[in-house]
Structure 1
Amino acid sequence: MKGAAERVWARLQPEDFLWLSALAARAAPEGIALVGGAVRDALLGHTPLDLDVVVPGGNVEALARASGRPFVFHPAYGNATLGLPDGRAADLVQARREHYPVPGGNPVPAPGTLDDDLRRRDFSVNALALHFSPRGQVTLRDVTGGLNDLEAGVLRPLHDRSFQDDPSRLVRGARLGARLGLRAHPELLAQVPAALALAPQTPRLWAELKLLLQEPRPGRAAQVLRDWDAGALLPDPTLLLALDHWRDEGQSIPEAVYAAALLHAAPDPAALARRLGLGERPGALLARALSDTFFPPGTPERTLRALLRPEAHEALTGKDVLALGVPPGRAVGEALAHLAALRRAGQLRSTDEERAALKAFLATKAQGS
């Protein structure tokens, strides 16, 4: 355990270790703890780290003020967000325990110990803490077996009602599994039906699905859900996996392109957009990509069109019409309208065919004038 603590310590920036140690000294007698994703990612060798700090038994607002850092206190949640010198932020939260009066509903919190706070979490790999004592001692706290699970590459819920309490943990788990290469523990797979049964009445689950689109590889996360027999939550991930491949090859694939591709694969795109809270932009992007309007290389529309209509050729533009000697004005519009009509009729299959049709149209116009 000592070696694990040193591995986390080594991943912290020097200034982070200093202000965390100073904060712990002011939080006597129980100190503070760096928890969750920061500890997990540090043990995996990943950076940068998102700093979430649990304060057992202390006054979060007073501690934030005593830190000397600029902060914002959130009274409704009893936590504070500290501004760090390099522009990052750190969250300070009161240690708590939780219970769920209604399956899939919001939890009811109460003050608790550090161990209570770790045991209320979703997965064992997220229930690790680096504890800073007021005297400067730093130790790794693992009360759920998360270190062994992390080393084994396993994603395990903390208890057998975890997904019934909060079905959104299913999607969060898929995001983590895809991002970190973790495989599902049998206990996780056993809880999938309970999460699916409660999904319609759990808004947090749909919020997690929207966050899935922000993952480094959204397609992989969607495929993990399908591998866990939870594919009913999203359409077939084939298009998203193709975008993942392009992103891995170095292409810039915006989140909006993923969202639009997801809508294209959905039986009812409008219903999915409402459920995920996507707004109107992905649908509008999809419509533009499926149109015959010209878009320059590198635009989201061009990228999405290459995915959805790989056989589509690039339509001629006003510049192409002008290059054939057509004077600017109404004649250019008439030529483009003629080509658009031929495309809709399926009579143009390549740029060369477009050019030939344009020349024929201009020749006909010239004869009639």
Structure 2
Amino acid sequence: MDNVADLLASRLTEELVRALRAVGTAAEAASVAPFLVGGSVRGALVDDQGTFDLDIALVGADDATFARIAELTGGRLSRRSQFGTAKLQLDSLEIDLAMARAEDYPKPGSLPVVRSGTLEEDLSRRDFSVNAMAVSLCSETWGDLVDLHEGLADLKQGRLRVLQENSFRDDPTRIVRAARYASRLDLSPTAGTLESLLQSVGFLDSVSPARIRNELDRVFLERDPSGAMNLLSDWNVLWSIHPCLEFHADPWDGFATEAGALPPQARTSLGYAILACGITEADVNGLIARLIPRASERRSIEDSATLGRMSATELVSFSNSSLARVLDPLAESAVLGVGMAKGGKLGCRISQYVRSHRGLRPYLTGDSLIEMGVPRGPSVGSILKRLRNAWLDGEISTASEEWALAKELAVEVAES
């Protein structure tokens, strides 16, 4: 059996290693066997620092075990689920704890029925061999790698291999996960895995909107989702989610750059905006019914569809101020998504708008105008809009020119 203790020490931060030690010691004191499992192990083995969510399986645990571990570590349980899992808040870390378990799926796409199980059963229920490895956190065997399904060999040889023949049928969301892992880890599905996957795409119809949306969210949150999106298109997954969804490489090739600094919800909103660019109103309604998106993502879908249906030629012909009047009311994610999806001259104009024009405001404020003698009321807002338009269209370029124009407009108001 391989021991990866030194590898963990070199690839995990000191804080993570201390947390694993603390939970391991507490688990043994609670008479259960702790193991680091799943994506946490895979992430350590391939040095993927972005995947270190700590997942710990507890063999022999019961409902009282979680509270006992929290007590012994000085942590706090923040959430528990019906699947025998809990989240442990330990200092700045959130650690997923789970009873080692076996699963049964009553029907395709349903949530599993779980029962307490052995470590072997817990690893065998997982989706792919590369996610079916465990590392012992027990004091006497610390760092021992448990690799019953040859996941390490698959990682090294670039293979993505599903564990069970009916895995995609039981949980079709694994199809979307397969695209993420294949792209991120540069893995190729084995022939049997790909055959099973393609035969199971239709079962996505049985998956709830929330679960479909959550899997798409995870794709958009990848550092570079372009490869995964390409696979989802090739495998007919996008069409299966909704026939209006199409893949075009250009916007996704630029996604990592454009979305790099965006917070998670802005990234997901941008992803949906790219997919929804220019779709019909009927398809908007159908897509929203299929995904039941959050409010910000729904707005992004609706605005992207509306803007994407407008004539690119006409939009490009607009002055900066006229284009701003069209784009200002729309969600920024939708505007950016349409620019990425359309590209060309419109893409350049939209990029300039997002970068330089959307947030542009005059130096003068409403109070400044009132001090000039403009009466309180709609005239103040009207002058501020005219000042912004003058900046956008290059009619003014300095604060003094803005002040002079404001004085002219104030006189016009006084004389009207």
TM (normalized to structure 1)?
A: 0.77
User: Is 2:293 aligned against 1:278?
Assistant: yes
User: How far apart, CA to CA, are the structure 1 residues paired with 2:64 and 2:122?
Assistant: 19
User: How far apart, CA to CA, are the structure 1 residues paired with 2:85 and 2:381?
Assistant: 62
User: What is the CA deviation profile of residues 158-198 of structure 1, one whole-angstrom value per residue up to 9, with x for unaligned ones?
Assistant: 02211111111001111222233222222221022332211
Counterpart code for 2:252 = L
Counterpart code for 2:145 = L
* Post-superposition offset of 1:252: 8.0
- CA gap of 1:282–1:3, structure 2 versus 1, over 3 A, is same
Structure with a larger share of its residues in helix: 2
User: Is 2:152 aligned against 1:147?
Assistant: yes
After superposition, where does 1:290-309 map in structure 2 within 5 Å? 290=307, 292-293=325-326, 295=328, 300=333, 303-304=336-337, 306-307=339-340, 308=342, 309=346
2:246 is aligned to 235
Structure 1 residue runs of 4+, over 6 Å off? 250-253, 315-318, 334-337
Counterpart code for 1:246 = E
After superposition, where does 1:168-183 map in structure 2 within 5 Å? 168-183=173-188
1:357 is aligned to none
2:46 is aligned to 44
Q: Out of 303-312 and 142-151, give the one that drifted further.
A: 303-312
User: How far apart, CA to CA, are the structure 1 residues paired with 2:63 and 2:49?
Assistant: 26
2:317 is aligned to none
Q: Out of 158-167 and 4-13, give the one that drifted further.
A: 4-13
SS of the residue corresponding to residue 55 of structure 1 reads strand
Does the 8 Å CA contact 2:130/2:151 hold for their aligned counterparts? yes
- CA gap of 1:69–1:153, structure 2 versus 1, over 3 A, is farther
- CA gap of 1:266–1:293, structure 2 versus 1, over 3 A, is closer
* Post-superposition offset of 1:332: 8.5
Counterpart code for 1:220 = G
User: How far apart, CA to CA, are the structure 2 residues paired with 1:335 and 1:82?
Assistant: 52
1:69 is aligned to 74
Does the 8 Å CA contact 2:56/2:97 hold for their aligned counterparts? yes
Counterpart code for 2:8 = V
Alignment identity in percent? 28
* Post-superposition offset of 1:225: 1.3
Counterpart code for 1:262 = L
1:198 to 197, 200, 203: 203
- CA gap of 1:274–1:242, structure 2 versus 1, over 3 A, is farther
Q: 5+ residue gaps in structure 1?
A: 341-349, 354-361
User: What is the CA deviation profile of residues 253-293 of structure 1, one whole-angstrom value per residue up to 9, with x for unaligned ones?
Assistant: 93122222222154512322332222342343466673734
SS of the residue corresponding to residue 93 of structure 1 reads strand
- CA gap of 1:121–1:75, structure 2 versus 1, over 3 A, is closer
Does the 8 Å CA contact 1:60/1:93 hold for their aligned counterparts? no
SS of the residue corresponding to residue 114 of structure 2 reads strand
User: Is 2:60 aligned against 1:54?
Assistant: no
Does the 8 Å CA contact 2:25/2:138 hold for their aligned counterparts? no
